[in-house]
Amino acid sequence: MKKRILFVDDEPEVLLSMRRMLRSMRSQWEIDFAGSGQDALRTMAGKPCDVVAADMRMPGMDGLRLLERVRELHPGVVRIILSDHSDKDAALKAVGLAHYFLSKPCEAGKLKITITHACGMRALLTDEPLINLISRIDSLPSLPSLYQEVVEEAQSQNGSLAKVGDIISKDVGMSAKLLQVVNSAFFGFPGQVSSIMRAVNLLGLENIKALILSLKIFTSSHPTNFHCYSLSSLWSHSISVGMIARSIATQEGFSQNLIDEAFMAGMLHDVGKVVLMDKLPEECLKISELVKSSGCQLWEAEQKISGTTHAQLGAYLMGMWGLSESVVEAIAFHHCPGKSTNESFGTLTVIHLANSMEHRGRNAKKNNRLDVDYLKKLGISDRR
Ligand SMILES: [Fe+2]
Ligand SMILES: [Fe+2]
């Protein structure tokens, strides 16, 4: 089925050039245009759409207000903001509202890639209530002690970027959020950033302070103790997987960017577990009971009870937050890499191995099954 995309801009010439730019996509997308926020909401009420891309500055209802309304009324719709970089405060406010940022004037290739990526993410999940639930998530829990530390460091007269980066990199929730911010087109940094140290250095102390103190992109308001796990044990598993992944990538001679990416994918691979625990606590209980009674793997029990897995949920959320496709793929298929279409040794392979090694290291029998057929296909099943 064709994806439906709605562009909203008050300048008719901009809409006209979008129309021309996207002519080649008409076989895959059904494209609509609206000249104002009110117009867009009326159109969406009559005909649901998959993606809405709105200009930041519009008279009456601006892009931020429109995306806020879209989040309330149609939470499953992918939200893109187009901004011309001139209004930094407004653009920073969009961090929690928009899934993707594009700079204006927008180049056709970038626009097509972003929308295709967004539509690809939507294909990972088909359950509408789950999509709606995840699309509302704009932050992940942080460990209260680390949250406190990072706020104090940002408030301190002598606060240092290195210290802020060090604290953030110990917390999966804060790391994911910072990567969403730094990889948004608003800042215009070239290439995908996967290292927290590089992210804080690129943003600089003033932006980091504004993000933490005024825009409160990190939060400690979520619960951190759940029926099935504690956040600290999950974060420590995640960081260990990240470190193992980094050392495998280093041994394999990956480039520094890919080594950083492997670490980050390891950190984030189980982020969907937090979504399940935080948003679907009752299903989570049933899942752990099924694992106990049947001895099946966790993701198999998740699939049976909730129709999806922590891997798919985490991948969907991180994809919506603009993380690179290879990180999203590694998260989505970390338990069953053979289901991915990618058959080369890369970030997915590293995360599958690192996750299994970490579980084995703790003697945790569940969740450590290696996908032997996949490893055979890559010709690495007999490696030690
Ligand atoms: Fe997992
Ligand atoms: Fe894991």
Task: Measure 310 CA to ligand 1 centroid, in angstroms.
Answer: 7
Task: Measure 356 CA to ligand 2 centroid, in angstroms.
Answer: 8
Task: Measure 12 CA to ligand 2 centroid, in angstroms.
Answer: 49
In which region does residue 253 sit, left (phi positive, over 0), alpha (psi from -120 to 50) or beta (all else)?
left
Residue among 167, 195, 157, 155 nearest 179 (CA): 195
The answer to whether the pTM exceeds 0.85 is no
Phi then psi dihedrals of residue 80, to 5 deg: -120, 135
Least distant ligand from the CA of 360: 2
Task: Measure 197 CA to ligand 1 centroid, in angstroms.
Answer: 25
Least distant ligand from the CA of 364: 2
Angstrom distance (rounded) from CA 145 to CA 268: 20
Alpha-carbon torsion 124, 299, 137, 82, what sign?
Answer: negative
- β-bridge mates for residue 33, sequence order: 7
Task: Measure 335 CA to ligand 1 centroid, in angstroms.
Answer: 6
Q: State the residue for tokens 């600089």.
A: 204
Assigned token pair, 124? 């990972």
Maximum Cα–Cα distance across the chain = 64
Angstrom distance (rounded) from CA 9 to CA 183: 24
Angstrom distance (rounded) from CA 145 to CA 136: 25
Contact present, 102 and 14 (Cβ < 8 Å):
no
Per-residue pLDDT of the chain (384 residues; tens, 9 = 90+): 788 999 999 999 988 888 888 888 888 899 999 999 999 999 999 988 999 999 998 999 999 999 999 988 988 888 999 987 666 677 777 776 888 888 887 788 888 888 887 877 777 777 778 888 887 788 888 888 999 999 999 999 998 999 999 999 999 999 999 998 888 766 767 778 999 999 999 999 988 998 898 878 888 766 666 666 788 889 999 999 999 999 999 999 999 999 999 999 999 999 999 888 888 888 989 998 999 999 898 999 999 999 889 999 999 999 888 888 899 999 999 999 998 888 899 999 999 999 999 988 776 655 568 999 999 999 887 776
Q: Which domains does the chain have, with CATH numbers?
A: 3-124 (3.40.50.2300), 144-214 (no CATH), 231-377 (1.10.3210.10)
Angstrom distance (rounded) from CA 122 to CA 4: 12
Angstrom distance (rounded) from CA 129 to CA 19: 32
DSSP letter at 338 equals G
In which region does residue 102 sit, left (phi positive, over 0), alpha (psi from -120 to 50) or beta (all else)?
beta
Task: Measure 358 CA to ligand 2 centroid, in angstroms.
Answer: 8
Angstrom distance (rounded) from CA 260 to CA 197: 10
Strand order in the sheet with 29-34: 29-34, 3-8, 51-55, 78-83, 100-103
Task: Measure 153 CA to ligand 2 centroid, in angstroms.
Answer: 30
- β-bridge mates for residue 79, sequence order: 52
